[in-house]
Amino acid sequence: MTTAASDKLTKGQRTRQRIFDAAFRLFGERGYQAVSLRDIAAEVGITHVTVLHYFSSKDELLAELMVHRDEIEREAAAAFLATDHEADAEYGGLHAPALRWMVHRLQVNAREQGAVPLFLKISTEASDPAHPAHEHFVARYRTLVELLAHGFEEEFSYLPADAVRVDARVAAEHLIAIADGLQIQSIYNADTNLIVDDVWQYLRLLGVVSAPPAP
């Protein structure tokens, strides 16, 4: 969050933001199970009771933290997609901004290894319709599939007329499944670069890129 944006927050909103920042940092460094609300309170410099004023439990804090991070990511994605893009070597010749954004997001995830286990935990728990974040994740995946499907439609339009291609929505669903599956594996495999590398291989199999991106 920028300084200008932070200045517009109320005192309570700033405290929530500080709790989110501390929780994300500690969960990433130590693991979710090893961190208590008291640890987070100490990191922020507030009392345990103050944390409980905003979040009734650690699970509630985690759920709201991941939703909060998704909201920030949506804003970042909108800014990325609104930028003019050329099919340059950095993105392996991809034309569609949506697909370029997906690759960019996976590259960021590879650098933020602590975020992956947290996302997987909350997204798995949210599969229960009674979970408070369930509808959020339903909408999240629906939006992501639609976004990437449009990206594949655009990318396929550049292929020769006789090229073999799959349905754009199926390609989007497969890309998400590959990315999520590889991120699960990355928890047990220290080489997170495999996620991005394997996604590039899938895109090459579809014929939408012809060479790996420039390093």
Q: What is the C-alpha to C-alpha distance for residues 58 and 35, in angstroms, rounded to an integer?
A: 9
- Give domain limits for the chain: 10-56, 61-205
By the 8 A CB rule, do 174 and 152 touch?
no
The answer, as to whether pTM is greater than 0.95, is no
Tokens of 146: 């639609």
- Tens of pLDDT, residues 99-120: 989 988 888 877 776 677 777 7
Percentage of the chain with pLDDT > 70?
88
Task: Give the pLDDT band of residue 193 (cuts 50, 70, 90).
Answer: low
Is the pLDDT at 4 greater than 60? The verdict is: no
Q: What is the C-alpha to C-alpha distance for residues 23 and 169, in angstroms, rounded to an integer?
A: 36
- Tens of pLDDT, residues 26-74: 887 777 888 999 999 999 999 999 999 999 999 889 888 888 888 888 8
- Computed over every residue of the chain, the mean pLDDT equals 84
pLDDT value at residue 2: 46
pLDDT value at residue 14: 93
End-to-end Cα, the chain, rounded Å? 29
Distances (CA, A) of 182 to 43, 110, 190: 32, 11, 12
Q: Which residues have CB under 8 Å from 176's CB, separation 6+?
A: 141, 144, 145, 148
Q: Give the torsion through C-alpha atoms of 155, 158, 159, 160, to 10 deg.
A: 160
What does the DSSP 8-state code read for residue 45?
Answer: T
Q: What is the C-alpha to C-alpha distance for residues 137 and 160, in angstroms, rounded to an integer?
A: 36
Q: Which fold has domain 10-56?
A: Arc Repressor Mutant, subunit A (1.10.10)
pLDDT value at residue 213: 57
What angle is formed at CA 189 by the lines to CA 186 and CA 192, rounded to 5 degrees? Answer: 55
Tokens of 179: 């990315």
